[in-house]
Structure 1
Amino acid sequence: MRIRRKGKTVVQYFKTKREASDFAAKVEADFDKWSRLLGGELKKHSLADLIDRYIRQWSGKDHNTPSRLAWWREHYGERSLAEFNDDTVREAIARLKTEPAPHGGKVVTEADKPRSGPTVNRYKAAISAAYKTAIDGGWFGVKDNPVAGIRAAKEHTSGFGQSLSDKDRPRLLQACDASTLWPALGVFVRLALATGARRGELLKLTWADVDLKRGSILLRDTKNGDDRRVPLIGDALKALKAHAKVRRMDDARVFPGRTTETPPQVDKAWHAALTAAEIDKLRIHDLRHSCGSYLARAGLSAFQIAAILGHRSGPQLTARYVHLHAEESRELMEGALAGVLGDG
């Protein structure tokens, strides 16, 4: 007896035709039973139900995941899970590529600046992760991931990013120091340049993790899941010591917002400083790239740079084999960055 179902074939052998017929009837009955049960679950629950359940148990590191899933919920949340299929995903991807994209958190840009290929891929990855979790957890009878098999958009990137030039750096620091939108911008930028810390790592930094006496900061809950201590040198240490003298007593963060629940106005202040310094198309994340390029220019190996910046791996060798303590990093960074960010 041969059974074909959704492109799959099962072959069984029996001594008599009756045994084969009885077995075939039982298999068909089971298929119909589970098809009705699962089909009913998929029709009864919506994509919003799946997303809401996923967000309740989500504990990932990428803080943009909830907002990306919110986009899926807003545009397709009312569709039942039975209706949400690969064609819907392709329609959504086309929409992501062409619609005006949020920029700066609140202001929506013009339609001539759509989302980039890498950004579209992150939206696709977010909903795919939600479906994978649903399948593994047996939620709502979900058995298939509608995102699976849909090719990712090409990511045209240099793999490293733009670096702040020596010529532009003094003007940018001067503009940041003069910021009225966020007076701490100059301190923030110096720390990013001197440590290679990510934006989120610095914004989560608390005074309890700052050692001004020894000159180091402890970055907790980083993107790769590890804590790491980074030495402070030159102007970055001097700026942070001055900043510590005017710290707020009601907020433990080094860079508090207007309230204890909100972040500072980083983007608004950053773009105003770029305009004042007459610098185009430099992202805050490029400060991290700049630190890496300074270290590379000073002759540090790819593995040393990966360890200092907190990359999970380096070329051809995982960075877990390169263990640099804070004081070892300090010697390397002072030699590499002293001429760029002060004498240390």
Structure 2
Amino acid sequence: MASFRQRAGKWQARVSIKGFPTETRSFNTKADAQHWARELESAMTRGVYKNLADAEELLFRDVMQRYLTEVTPTKRSAKRETEGIQFMQRSKMASYSMAKLTPATIAEYRDQRLKTVSAGTIIREICILSSMINHARREWGLAIDNPCALVRKPASPIGRNRLLKADEEARLLEELKPRKRRSPWMVPLVTLALETAMRRGELLSLRWEHIDLATQTALLPLTKNGTSRVVPLSRKAVAVLAELSRSDYGPVFPISHMTMHNCFTDACKRAGIKNLHFHDLRHTATSRLAEKLPNVIELAAVTGHQTIQMLKRYYHPKAETLAQKLG
């Protein structure tokens, strides 16, 4: 039942139905109070009632912060996700209450970001937004719908197929040689990337206690796929590792992600190499390994791809090479 009374110059509506918490709200006019009460009673009767009191007071920025504190640290991609959430906390979208967060709000954020970043970045950010809202609904009892479910994501970008050419490789390695303040780790790091097709994170997480030069293997206890993998090492890869200052314990490459990125980018500029990312070395290495390992199962065991479809994205055969095989 709904009851109404005037209080402090406003009309207060009170809805009390058995089995539901009592709801109270104030309005400027009695008509508005009656309309709200009818809508609320109808929702309770139809079983679609949601208590939006918490959602109306809670800002999206606060939800982001709690998620950043409680959930993000448990993820392997914590650092990257932290940077993304901290950026979104500074956006206009973060100032909305959770009850006022609509698909149009998310779409406006998407359109603004598309002016400065790629579609791939936007897709990742919308996924993070959706995860935060769903977590708040499931774990924190926030009674709202997820507006991200109704927002159109940009078309996925076409996968990169940039390969490092032989002449570019020579110029790149020359520019990476340790001179003055240049890192002594970059030449062996890039060489190993081209020999093993390991990801950047896998290379930087390599530890001496997981490397066995006698059996030509390197253990990766935890990969991007969430599983462990043993990487076979070519004779060239073994030679590269043998030349490094080895210890029984510790990282093979004591260099940070940012330092590695800056060194690689600067070397590409000095070498006159355009549009090359470090991850393109994985594409290059996979394509080269495919010539030695025509069995796709063996190739996937080396590269760590769990599906043939994903492996296909990294294998870019040259048309002239295929023509020679055809005869």
Gaps of at least 5 residues in structure 2 are 1-37, 312-327
Change (3 A) 1:314 1:60: farther
Q: Which amino acid aligns with 1:60?
A: K
In structure 1, how many angstroms separate the alpha carbons of the residues matched to 2:121 and 2:191?
Answer: 28
Return the match for 1:73 from 71, 83, 89. Answer: 89
Q: Please name the residue that 1:161 is paired with.
A: 161
Q: CA deviation at 1:34?
A: 8.4
Return the match for 1:62 from 77, 81, 87. Answer: 77
Q: Please name the residue that 2:9 is paired with.
A: none
Whether 2:100 is the aligned partner of 1:83: answer: yes
Counting only pairs closer than 5 Å after superposition, residues 108-147 of structure 1 correspond to structure 2 as: 114-137=116-139, 139-147=140-148
In structure 2, the residue corresponding to 1:182 is in which secondary structure? coil
Whether the 8 Å contact between 1:256 and 1:264 is mirrored in structure 2 is no
Whether 2:59 is the aligned partner of 1:39: answer: no
Whether the 8 Å contact between 1:256 and 1:263 is mirrored in structure 2 is no
Return the match for 1:287 from 277, 281, 289. Answer: 281
Q: Bigger radius of gyration, 1 or 2?
A: 2
Counting only pairs closer than 5 Å after superposition, residues 210-249 of structure 1 correspond to structure 2 as: 210-245=211-246
Return the match for 2:114 from 87, 97, 101. Answer: 97
In structure 1, how many angstroms separate the alpha carbons of the residues matched to 2:183 and 2:285?
Answer: 23
Q: CA deviation at 1:49?
A: 2.5
1:239-281 CA-partner distances (Å, limit 9, x unpaired): 2222234x6x9x8222224xxxx55611111012112322111
Q: Which amino acid aligns with 2:276?
A: L
Whether the 8 Å contact between 1:121 and 1:153 is mirrored in structure 2 is yes
- Report which structure shows greater RCO (CA 8 Å, sep ≥6): 1
In structure 1, how many angstroms separate the alpha carbons of the residues matched to 2:136 and 2:189?
Answer: 40
In structure 1, how many angstroms separate the alpha carbons of the residues matched to 2:243 and 2:189?
Answer: 12
Normalised to the residue count of structure 2, the TM-score between the two structures is: 0.73
Q: Please name the residue that 2:12 is paired with.
A: none
Q: Higher helix share goes to which structure? A: 2
Return the match for 1:304 from 290, 298, 303. Answer: 298
Identity, in percent, stands at 27
Q: CA deviation at 1:143?
A: 3.0
Q: CA deviation at 1:316?
A: 10
Change (3 A) 1:272 1:33: same
Q: Which amino acid aligns with 1:42?
A: A
In structure 1, the residue corresponding to 2:114 is in which secondary structure? helix
Whether 2:257 is the aligned partner of 1:256: answer: no
In structure 2, how many angstroms separate the alpha carbons of the residues matched to 1:25 and 1:142?
Answer: 16
Task: Give runs of ≥4 in structure 1 deviating > 4 Å.
Answer: 24-27, 31-35
The number of aligned residues is 269
Counting only pairs closer than 5 Å after superposition, residues 180-191 of structure 1 correspond to structure 2 as: 180-191=181-192
Q: CA deviation at 1:31?
A: 5.8
Q: CA deviation at 1:160?
A: 5.0
Q: CA deviation at 1:299?
A: 5.4
In structure 2, how many angstroms separate the alpha carbons of the residues matched to 1:238 and 1:26?
Answer: 73
Change (3 A) 1:244 1:217: farther
Q: Which amino acid aligns with 1:252?
A: G
Please tell me the root mean square deviation across aligned C-alpha atoms, in Å. 2.9
Whether the 8 Å contact between 1:45 and 1:140 is mirrored in structure 2 is no
Whether the 8 Å contact between 1:202 and 1:219 is mirrored in structure 2 is no
Q: CA deviation at 1:41?
A: 0.6
Whether the 8 Å contact between 2:220 and 2:229 is mirrored in structure 1 is yes
Whether the 8 Å contact between 2:55 and 2:144 is mirrored in structure 1 is no
Normalised to the residue count of structure 1, the TM-score between the two structures is: 0.70
Q: CA deviation at 1:226?
A: 0.7
Change (3 A) 1:89 1:239: same
Deviation larger for 61-70 or 86-95:
61-70
Q: CA deviation at 1:25?
A: 12
In structure 1, how many angstroms separate the alpha carbons of the residues matched to 2:85 and 2:51?
Answer: 24
Deviation larger for 209-218 or 184-193:
209-218
